[in-house]
A and B are shown apart, each in its own frame.
Chain A
Amino acid sequence: EPEVTQTPSHQVTQMGQEVILRCVPISNHLYFYWYRQILGQKVEFLVSFYNNEISEKSEIFDDQFSVERPDGSNFTLKIRSTKLEDSAMYFCASSELGAQYGYTFGSGTRLTVV
């Protein structure tokens, strides 16, 4: 079964550093998403991406965050200057035709900011 692949599985970074979280969505999917889950809390929407542009973003997704689809296969989330509160599990997801068909999630990247 096709999978969404995320790398790395775990990243530790110092506060103030830039991090890039990488995702390879399912090849025929057109819609891409990032969600995060702070330990012990609910899964939260960050951003959706379609047709090479952001289609929706949450209040969490401020100027410190950016997304990119650099080469037609990868989908990246960049955090420019990490804060302690950015520590969370970050999930990438993709969908062929949008939310009504359900997403396929990756297994996540655990980001720890120290």
Chain B
Amino acid sequence: AQSVTQLGSHVSVSEGALVLLRCNYSSSVPPYLFWYVQYPNQGLQLLLKYTTGATLVKGINGFEAEFKKSETSFHLTKPSAHMSDAAEYFCAVSEPPLNTDKLIFGTGTRLQVFP
């Protein structure tokens, strides 16, 4: 069965510091992997996704993530945090459409950015 584990429910960084949000997954087949961001009182916005091909994927707002099959990980990074990055971040996994079309979400990581 698919599952997603996000280590750290809260992460705090200083403005300009590296952001690293961790995500590990479990899937019986090569997965599709996603990061979503949720700003207060808003819906979930797709940051980036990995389906096939290049394992380093770039998303919006300067974020990127690397799919590492050997580590079953899909960690999200950003070289330099900005105050506007403060939000809740969700990692999600899906198996290819022939198996299922639903997303399984992690429990989320709340990112705080201090000046």
Q: Give the docked Cα–Cα distance between A105 and B3 (Å).
A: 21
Q: Does B87 contact A (CB under 8 A)?
A: no
Q: Does B103 contact A (CB under 8 A)?
A: yes
Closest to B107 in A: A42
Closest to B42 in A: A107
Q: Give the docked Cα–Cα distance between A6 and B42 (Å).
A: 11
**Number of chain B residues close to chain A: CB under 8 A:** 25
Q: Does B105 contact A (CB under 8 A)?
A: yes
A interface bracket (residues with beta carbon within 8 Å of B): 20 to 34
Q: Does A45 contact B (CB under 8 A)?
A: yes
Q: Is the CB of A98 within 8 A of B101?
A: yes
Q: Does B82 contact A (CB under 8 A)?
A: no
Q: Give the docked Cα–Cα distance between A93 and B103 (Å).
A: 11
The 23 listed contacts between A and B (C-beta, < 8 Å) are A4-B43, A43-B44, A43-B92, A43-B103, A44-B105, A45-B103, A56-B100, A56-B102, A58-B102, A99-B94, A99-B97, A99-B101, A100-B49, A101-B49, A103-B44, A103-B46, A103-B103, A104-B46, A105-B43, A105-B44, A106-B43, A107-B43, A108-B43
